[in-house]
A = this chain, B = another copy of it.
């Protein structure tokens, strides 16, 4: 496969993360061609030029359509705010580019459907940025479950909590507007849902409660404004095979910084994981002498591929940004037609469908089945 030409739209949190991945993927993995960093788009020309220089891109533009029109660009990283995803991703796909779009697809389900339609029509690879599934620890958990290490899974709990909106006197900003979405439900829950999908498949039925810890927030210009969506969501769920699950998401959870805590119970053991300590997980297996049974704390190690591509010694730890490098590598494999572990637009749409069903079940105060 010839080297891929890369375009990057957006250079914030995730834009930089993509740039780091495109810069590092060849050095880490060796088995792909070094990507050619062709074109970078930002909101204005000055910032675009600055970031292109920093991130190593050859060209910069204030008009993302230039980038999509660039024949040297084969793949487009879309890392802009969510409302721009549909237009950009669809344009890129229509221009014959592969697309690597940050999650979620779109605030409106209909737009997400259009994105999938465009992906199907294009025949190109269209992937969503759900990097937590790329953690070698998560891969090992999937392997263990597949091997029957904890028997048949019957119950799952997953919590996703941060505290960036926990201060009731922080100024009102767009994340508290209804236009931005349901709140924690779409802002957060797609991450744990991607993990559930990766490990167990899709959600089949849900009932949701949502939490609005603060009725209003101060405005910078004085006065207060009502909070329009919900910072917390709690969901009872059923997955295939009769698995019951509980999802709890909260972006006003003081003290939690990047918690995605997963507990998986099976007929022969259980597994616990927390993203705040992403280089370890706990495994309990109900075998051997009872007096020595206990949760085993397993540290990330070269045996957990592809940790070995980063560090040849165990226990030294990957970082959050490394997960994006792994995702980038999977994407390149997908483009080359090799087997890969990614979240396609098809998978992603199904995740977002779950989220909308959850919101509906809250408003209608009843269980909703997801087709």
By a beta-carbon cutoff of 8 Å, the part of chain A in contact with chain B is 12-13, 16-17, 19-20, 23-24, 26-28, 30, 34, 50, 53-56, 140, 144, 149-151, 154-155, 157, 159, 162-164, 166-168, 207, 209-211, 213-214, 232, 234, 236, 238, 244, 246, 248, 250, 252-259, 265-270, 272, 275-280, 282-284, 286, 289-299, 301, 303-304, 310-322, 365-367
Query: In chain B, what residue has the closest Cβ to A16?
Result: B27
Inter-subunit contact A258/B317 (CB<8 Å): yes
A145 to chain B, nearest CB (A): 13
Q: Which residue of the partner chain, among B168, B258, B286, contacts A254 with CB atoms under 8 Å? A: B286
Dominant SS among interface residues on chain A = mixed
Inter-subunit contact A213/B20 (CB<8 Å): no
Q: Which residue of the partner chain, among B12, B28, B236, B255, contacts A20 with CB atoms under 8 Å? A: B28
Q: Within the assembled complex, what's the spacing in Å between the Cα atoms of A294 and B140?
A: 14
Q: A20-B28, A168-B267, A258-B314 are in contact. List 19 more A-B contacts (CB 8 A).
A: A26-B55, A26-B56, A34-B56, A154-B211, A162-B313, A209-B238, A232-B244, A234-B236, A236-B236, A254-B269, A254-B284, A256-B270, A277-B279, A278-B317, A292-B298, A293-B296, A319-B319, A319-B321, A321-B322
Q: Within the assembled complex, what's the spacing in Å between the Cα atoms of A291 and B308?
A: 12
Query: In chain B, what residue has the closest Cβ to A163?
Result: B286
Inter-subunit contact B164/A313 (CB<8 Å): yes
| A283 in contact with B294 given A244-B232, A258-B315, A314-B258 (CB within 8 Å) | yes
Q: Within the assembled complex, what's the spacing in Å between the Cα atoms of A276 and B300?
A: 10
A339 to chain B, nearest CB (A): 21
Please name all residues of chain B whose beta carbon is closer than 8 Å to the beta carbon of A213 when the two chains form the complex.
154-155, 265, 267
Inter-subunit contact B13/A27 (CB<8 Å): no
Q: Within the assembled complex, what's the spacing in Å between the Cα atoms of A294 and B304?
A: 13
| A159 in contact with B162 given A258-B315, A291-B140 (CB within 8 Å) | no
A247 to chain B, nearest CB (A): 10
Please name all residues of chain B whose beta carbon is closer than 8 Å to the beta carbon of A244 when the two chains form the complex.
209-211, 232, 234
| A304 in contact with B276 given A20-B27, A164-B313, A232-B244 (CB within 8 Å) | no
